[in-house]
Amino acid sequence: MPSLIQLVDIPQRGDARGGLAVADLGGALPFPVRRVYWIHGTTPGVSRGFHAHRKLRQLCVCVAGSVRMSLFDGRREESVTLDSPSKGLLVGPGLWREMHDFSPGCVLMVFADAEYDEADYIRDREAFIRHVHSS
Ligand code: TYD
């Protein structure tokens, strides 16, 4: 059974001066990017997410600090700690995601293949489980 955790390498162009990670929007990412947002300044101790998307594809890159991301497909749950600007976590449709254990100074950058649409969200966990078991 394939892992829910799909990590992709973000091209690195750093040198002795420091890091430089590149997300070339001309096709280097796994999908055409329509939106980029970043989560930052997270209040200590909070968790976020607790939703799934019907169609949206996302790539999450922790560009500073660390965060633990948990994915649940309605049957099994897997989690991974993102702590590298050179790794992106692919989060496709039909995955319940939660973000926990944000470190101080964490910045989580998210690339998405569509504009924000609240109708694409499933925010109730029981409704999500019904959704995946009916599709
Ligand atoms: P949400 O995706 O629920 O955040 P998280 O999963 O990290 O807890 O978004 C939080 C709020 O921000 C919600 O009211 C929707 C709004 N929002 C936008 O308006 N545009 C966006 O691109 C995103 C990601 C969220």
Non-local (6+) Cβ contacts of 99 within 8 A are 39, 47, 48, 49, 67, 68, 69, 70, 108
- Pocket mutation for ligand 1, best pick of 43, 46, 116 (most atoms within 8 Å of C-beta): 116
- What are the per-10-residue average pLDDT scores of the chain (135 residues)? 95 96 89 97 98 98 98 98 98 98 98 98 98 91
What pLDDT score was predicted for residue 26? 84
What pLDDT score was predicted for residue 93? 97
pTM here?
Answer: 0.96
The domain spans of the chain are 6-10+28-134
What pLDDT score was predicted for residue 4? 98
**CATH 2.60.120.10 at 6-10+28-134, yes or no:** yes
What pLDDT score was predicted for residue 3? 97
Ligand 1 lined by 37 (C-beta under 6 Å)? yes
